[in-house]
Amino acid sequence: MKLGTGLLATAIGTMTLAPAAFAAPGEPFYLNSTHWAFATLVIFLIAVWRMGAFKAVGNMLDSRASEIERELAQAQALREEASEKLKEAERRQEEAAEQAEAIMRQAEADAKALMAQADKDLTDMVARREAQVEVRIARAEEEATLAVKKVAADAATRAAAELIRSNAEKSSGSEAFQSALSQVKSAL
């Protein structure tokens, strides 16, 4: 309403002063075409104002301003939601990086443990093989010692038999030879 009253006062003041300024000298103001064009414009603006066109334009501008405010509020809400989602995504990314790092540390620890176990198993296997080899060597030594003793006993038996035989031939004691031979064999 203030806009209309101010506009009306401005129009009346301008209407009364303007035609006199544009009027040709000596011509009455009602014959001046500028005066009539201005008067028509003022009448048209008053008619538009009375019909509520200015109010409709104001309402339209107000509704447009309300729509813009609503869109700005919606954009702000969307921005805040996007910001929250970005923070959540960054937090998840950090958690994923921490989990990946933990997995890497665990894998390294597992690999070290497996290597240590493999070294221990290898050492145990080598020790078992060495023990088996030592047992085989000891058995082979024992068999070799027994074989040497047997060969030595056989050689001693033959030598004793030869000695007894040669002594028996000298004394012709075939019986003595046989008894001595049986004693030697039973001793061995």
Within-domain flag for 125:
no
pTM > 0.85: no
For residue range 131-169, list pLDDT tens digits in order.
999 999 999 999 999 888 888 888 888 887 787 777 766
70: its two tokens = 């609503």
Q: What angle do CA 169, 171, 172 make, to 5 degrees?
A: 55
Least confident of 23-37, 40-54, 56-70, 131-145: 23-37
Within-domain flag for 106:
no
Number of domains in the chain: 2
Output 165 or 76, whichever has higher pLDDT: 76
Q: Count Cβ neighbours within 10 Å for each residue of 63-83 and write b for 16 or more, e otherwise.
A: eeeeeeeeeeeeeeeeeeeee
Within-domain flag for 93:
no
Within-domain flag for 154:
yes
Instruction: Give pLDDT, residue 149.
Output: 86
Domain containing 177 equals 141-187
Counting residues of the chain whose pLDDT is more than 70, the rounded percentage is: 77
Within-domain flag for 46:
yes
Where helices occur in 23-52 by DSSP H, the ranges are: 33-50
Closest CA to 59 of 6, 3, 11: 3
